[in-house]
A and B are shown apart, each in its own frame.
Chain A
């Protein structure tokens, strides 16, 4: 039972344009959300996070938006760069399970020069 879903396995974007990666979740107890980025043959690296008390968090070119009523979050990358090409995982944790993260299946982003 996948509690965190990334329905787009892949996304291609032109360099300089906006990349929007989407994530949906089913567990209303989730209150902390994270995005990880993964290059081939490397482990995932933390990118950005957001608490459920916020609806937006921004860090440079990366912004995460959270819509709790829709149980949806998105990661915006502006402007997209070829080095952003990677697999992006959405992850979530709940108040009781701080020792566990639930990951989505990932979206492979390709930024075309």
Chain B
């Protein structure tokens, strides 16, 4: 498809399990973002890639969270030893260039993670 694709759409994990969430951005988009959206909240920034370079990971909540984009296209967000507070929708977004001047991020449908 032409949009940002995320998989899996839904993931249930037992506490302590590792999970991997995949994002296929729009072809040719340079910038890729991961956001975390807890229930009833707005999306919160996790990390940003420009091509394969991870330029900002200031939003990652702990060292259990790791993201990569090795070839500047597909990205994976990995969460190790999941905890209940990790339960959220994880949104991936891509942009042709930087956020500005267009300001438009294209979001995927999200991966809903539930940690039991």
A residues near B (Cβ < 8 Å) are 4, 6, 32, 34, 36, 41-46, 49, 89, 91, 93, 98-106
Contacts and interface: CB of A to CB of B under 8 A. Distances in A.
Contacts of A4: 42
A46 B3 CA distance: 13
B42 A89 contact: yes
User: Of residues A36, A42, A43, A45, which shows the largest number of chain B Cβ atoms within 10 Å of its Cβ?
Assistant: A43
Interface string B92-116: 0100001110011111111000000
B89 to A, nearest CB: 9
Given A43-B93, A44-B43, A106-B42, A100 B59 contact: yes
B112 to A, nearest CB: 9
Contacts of A93: 99-100, 103
B2 interface: no
Interface residues of B, number: 29
Given A43-B108, A44-B107, A98 B43 contact: no
B24 to A, nearest CB: 13
B42 A49 contact: no
Given A43-B4, A43-B93, A93-B100, A102 B107 contact: no
B48 interface: yes
Given A42-B109, A44-B107, A98 B40 contact: no
Nearest to A103: B42
A46 B35 CA distance: 15
Contact of A46 (B98, B104, B109): B104
A102 to B, nearest CB: 7
Contacts of B44: 103
Given A89-B42, A98-B100, A99-B31, A41 B109 contact: yes
Nearest to B43: A103
A90 B115 CA distance: 28
Contacts of A45: 107
Given A43-B4, A101-B45, 4 more contacts: A43-B108, A43-B110, A99-B56, A103-B43
Contacts of A6: 42
Cβ-closest 10 pairs across A and B: A43-B107, A103-B42, A49-B103, A99-B48, A46-B104, A100-B45, A103-B43, A105-B42, A44-B107, A43-B108
